[in-house]
Amino acid sequence: MGWIKKNEKQYWQETRTIGHRINAAGFEVQVRKYFTAPTKKECLAKVDEFMLQQKLNTTNSKKAFGVLADMWIEEFYKNGPNADSTKAMYIRNWNKHIRPMEFYTWPVSSIEGTIIQRAYNTLYESGVPSSTIEKCHKLMRQFIQYLTLQNLCIDFSGSLRVPKDKNTQKESHVTVWSDDEIKTILGNFEKADPRFRLRFLVVLAYYTGCRIGELLALNKDDITPNGELVINKQLGETVSYDANGNVITGYGIKPPKSTRSIRTIPLNGIVLEEYRRHLEWQKNDMRQNGYITNYLFTTQNGTLYYQRNIRRALKRYYDTIGVEEKSVHTYRHTFGTNLCRNDIPIQVASSLLGHESIETTARYYVNVGFDEKAKAVETLSKMAVG
């Protein structure tokens, strides 16, 4: 210890033994660490901080993997940025499939990649679907990365692989409505049922690409006098926790899927005309059925819809007009694909859809047809020759 000169300046230096290793000759030697600071006081503070952290890490490394995992889930993951329903889903799968594993009680210092991989393989062989193991894996990766930052293990999460179902292959494209199907859906409201309650919801779904939960949460204040749709909430499963940390689920209005989901979407003339018609229809419906609401979409009793009831009502409509049923989310896929087909920049498409990342939006390009691709290539070639 003492003063040293470095870059023409004086620094105080301390050294401490932090461990031992075997050298090339086969002898055990000390591992020394040097600490340097402008003053002796600052240098000793660095030493104390490092040695305390080493002590904490040594203590934690003897703790059970599961003890640290439970602490991390409670203190960090539950307070993370994901939607409450998403967090609850991951925690349920973790508690059901990972917590019962034998390694959950082992010291964290004994956990390595092969142990976790073996657990995934065991789950798959016992009949647990790949999609469920994937949810466990997403949580596992985050926890392992946390342990790595705490110097409790190396990050082996990138080497883990989720077994894939042999008899199923993930589609490389998204399902969309064809142009003819859309013409049939949007052109037969009056013919099929003039009192169809979900007419404006279908129009909004097709022309805005909003998620069904976002549409069902809309009220009249969410469409501005300037003809813009404001998305800042959704209707769906709500999650809270009791004093013992147990999940309590409900159903109601909650924050959007992510901060990127908060957005404003311009509405075209067709949508605004349908909105005017919807307000007039809803005014009569409230008078006839004796309810009052500020929400755009409710049952005839004025209560908010459950998504499963939306699916049933739409299926009845599709059956009436002779269109094969597709999920409500197909409108969102169609909206995203049409944006890409019409040369809308991917950043704009991503913003309109409220995606967390452009990578999510990029999947819609796989539905772009040959003619659109050829047009894009031709445009690039013209740009190249100036």
**pLDDT digits over 209-224, tens only?**
999 999 999 999 999 9
Between residues 61 and 271, which one has the greater pLDDT?
271
Does residue 383 surpass a pLDDT of 50?
Answer: no
Task: Give the class (CATH, top level) of 179-375.
Answer: mainly alpha
Does residue 57 surpass a pLDDT of 60?
Answer: no
Burial of 119 (0-12, 13-18, 19+ CB in 10 A): buried
Query: What pLDDT is attached to residue 194?
Result: 79
Does residue 386 surpass a pLDDT of 50?
Answer: no
Does residue 338 surpass a pLDDT of 70?
Answer: yes
- For the chain, give the percent of residues with pLDDT over 90: 50
The two domains 65-159 and 179-375 share their CATH topology (first three levels equal) = no
Chain center to CA of 351: 16
- The widest CA-to-CA distance across the chain, in whole angstroms, is 94
| CA atoms of 70 and 76, how far apart (whole Å) | 10
pTM equals: 0.60
- Contact partners, residue 230, CB within 8 Å, separation at least 6: 222, 223, 224, 264
Which fold does the domain 65-159 belong to in CATH?
A: DNA polymerase; domain 1 (1.10.150)
SS (H, E, C) the chain: CEEEEECCEEEEEEEEEEEEEECCCCCEEEEEEEEEECCHHHHHHHHHHHHHHHHHHHHHHCCEHHHHHHHHHHHHHCCCCCCHHHHHHHHHHHHHHCCCCHHHHCEHHHCCHHHHHHHHHHHHHCCCCHHHHHHHHHHHHHHHHHHHHCCCCCCCHHHCCCCCCCCCCCCCCCCCCCHHHHHHHHCCHHHHCCCCCCHHHHHHHHHHCCCHHHHHCCEHHHECCCCEEEECCEEEEEEEECCCCCEEEEEEEECCCCHHHCEEEECCHHHHHHHHHHHHHHHHHHHHHCCCCCECCECCCCCECCHHHHHHHHHHHHHHHCCCCCCCHHHHHHHHHHHHHCCCCHHHHHHHHCCCCHHHHHHHHHHCCHHHHHHHHHHHHHHHHC
Mean pLDDT across 67-86 = 85
Domain map (residue ranges) of the chain: 2-60, 65-159, 179-375
Query: What pLDDT is attached to residue 170?
Result: 47
Does residue 53 surpass a pLDDT of 70?
Answer: no
Does residue 28 surpass a pLDDT of 70?
Answer: no
**Alpha-carbon distances, residue 10 vs 3, 4, 16, 38, 48 (angstroms):** 6, 6, 20, 7, 21
Query: What pLDDT is attached to residue 63?
Result: 83
**Residue 32 pairs with which residues in a beta bridge?**
17
Closest of 89, 126, 127, 123 to residue 103, by C-alpha? 123
Average pLDDT of the chain, as a whole number: 85
Q: Which residues of 150-163 are buried (b: 16+ CB within 10 A; e: fewer)?
A: bebbeebbeebebb
